[in-house]
């Protein structure tokens, strides 16, 4: 069945460092792909999405490119801030459904 695999966390970085959080997927067809972020004590919120192969989603300095060749959707940011500390989830809708399946989440900790 469809699935999402994320790198284990926590990822610990200093402010202004480069960030990569890996996400790979298994899916029927070419679903839309999503990154959600969860700040402490809050619900998840959409960070960015891509709806077809080679699309790049971007928001708040974060980017992710839909790579069907490698079935990946890695999240990147060139210079992280302390305020980016959160848990990041990769997600996709299984074929023919309206729900999302989420990865296990990757915790990012950014220190000054």
Q: What are the DSSP E strand ranges found in the chain?
A: 3-6, 11-14, 19-21, 23-26, 33-38, 44-50, 56-59, 62-65, 75-77, 86-92, 101-102, 106-111
Shortest distance in whole angstroms from residue 75 CB to other proteins? 16
The yes or no reply on residue 3 touching other proteins (CB under 8 A) is no
The radius of gyration computed from the CA coordinates of the chain, to the nearest angstrom, equals 13
Site residue total, other proteins (CB under 8 A): 18
| Pairing state between β 56-59 and 3-6 | unpaired
CA angle 35, 51, 67 (to 5 degrees): 75
Of residues 32 through 91, those in contact with other proteins by CB under 8 A are 32, 34, 42-46, 49, 51, 89
Stretch that binds other proteins, among 13-21, 61-69, 75-83, 95-103 (CB under 8 A): 95-103
Shortest distance in whole angstroms from residue 33 CB to other proteins? 9
Shortest distance in whole angstroms from residue 79 CB to other proteins? 26
The phi and psi torsions of 44 (rounded to 5 degrees) equal -75, 150
32 or 72: CB nearest other proteins: 32
Q: Which residues bind other proteins (CB under 8 A)?
A: 32, 34, 42-46, 49, 51, 89, 97-102, 104-105
């Amino acid at each position: 069945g469809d699935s999402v695999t994320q790198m284990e966390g926590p990822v610990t970085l200093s402010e202004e460092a480069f960030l990569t959080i890996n996400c790979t997927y298994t899916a029927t067809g070419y679903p839309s792909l999503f990154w959600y972020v969860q700040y402490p004590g809050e619900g998840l919120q959409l960070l960015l999405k891509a709806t077809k192969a080679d699309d790049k989603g971007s928001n708040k300095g974060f980017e992710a490119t839909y790579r069907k060749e490698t079935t990946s959707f890695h999240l990147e940011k060139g210079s992280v801030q302390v305020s980016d500390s959160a848990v990041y989830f990769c997600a996709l809708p299984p074929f023919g459904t309206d729900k999302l399946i989420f990865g296990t989440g990757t915790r990012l900790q950014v220190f000054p």
